[in-house]
Structure 1
Amino acid sequence: MSVHGRLLQLHDAHELASAVDALHALGYTRLEAFSPYAVDGLMEKLGSPPKRIPPAMLTGGLIGGIGMLWLQYHAAAVDYPLNVGGRPAASWPAFMPSAVEVVILLAVVAGFVAFLVGSRLPTLYRPEFNVAWFEEASRDGFLLLIRADDPRWNDHQVAEDVAALEPLRHADVPS
């Protein structure tokens, strides 16, 4: 049976953060934490991924705004120019309200998609689901996973290092 990693349950958020520090000090780098609420400073300790949402929203907004302005200009001044009351064909002030709406729409959609991709959602299956007590992470459990693809992974050494942290319980996570 191949192993995905070792999952351990800790008493509280403080102990979870301390366990991450202790395992980093031992040389482990491939750690994942699961908790019922956000723990201050935990993402930084785990090595949070680069922020993708703000650049994605900026790109979506720029594409939406420029695209909408181009569409309106092309429709009003190139494809179907109408001379109504002597107004210019390219009336930029008239184009702005709908362009702003599209900027907001595409920025929000791009941010939502970036959030889903960055969070690896929707995830219908993860190997951690095979551990019977994994569901406690959504109620009152503070869980930490040491992944088997960690360069320092050794079955016996990991078991000793985890036992030294004195978790509530720990178990191998089958793949």
Structure 2
Amino acid sequence: MAELDAVIEQTLRDSDLAHEHLGPGRWLVDLPGTHKLKTVCGLIVGEHALRVEAFVCRQPDENREQLWTFLLQHNARMYGVAYSIDTVGDVYLTGRLPHAAVSPEELDRLLGSVLSYADDPFNTMLEIGFGTSIRREWDWRVKRGESLRNLEAFAAFADPSRRPPPASRPDGGA
């Protein structure tokens, strides 16, 4: 375990990632994102493998089946981790890396995968699972003259005035 901890420690330092060593074989790493501001990733050294776990979003308020379908379709193309849900429906990224494969390059690749899969589709996941709440919040803020700054990523679907017009049909109909 000490050998793996040393590899993890050096990799995280070399990557300038904020991290916390919770004890032998237990790490928390902050992965800064663009859409999801931060993803906290746990690295846990087990008997045979390094376990990777990262919370992505809480259980959806609506369209659960649509969100699960979206996540499962992405799982087939992902590297090192896969989307999973816990007993209440919260979404995580989870994976395992055999001890023999733990290297600075592989840890970097794995953490990059976690960041990419948590951050890139984050707004789409929120639109699917929380669209009604986001639209309601948008409308409430507009009525009260409140800032929309942290909702701007959802303007195209939350703000009726910004929605693109429907595409015309190929047969000339509207």
TM over 0.5: no
TM-score normalised by the shorter chain: which range applies?
A: under 0.3
Larger proportion of strand? 2
Structure with greater contact order relative to length (CA < 8 Å, sep ≥ 6) = 1
Q: TM-score, normalised by structure 2?
A: 0.24
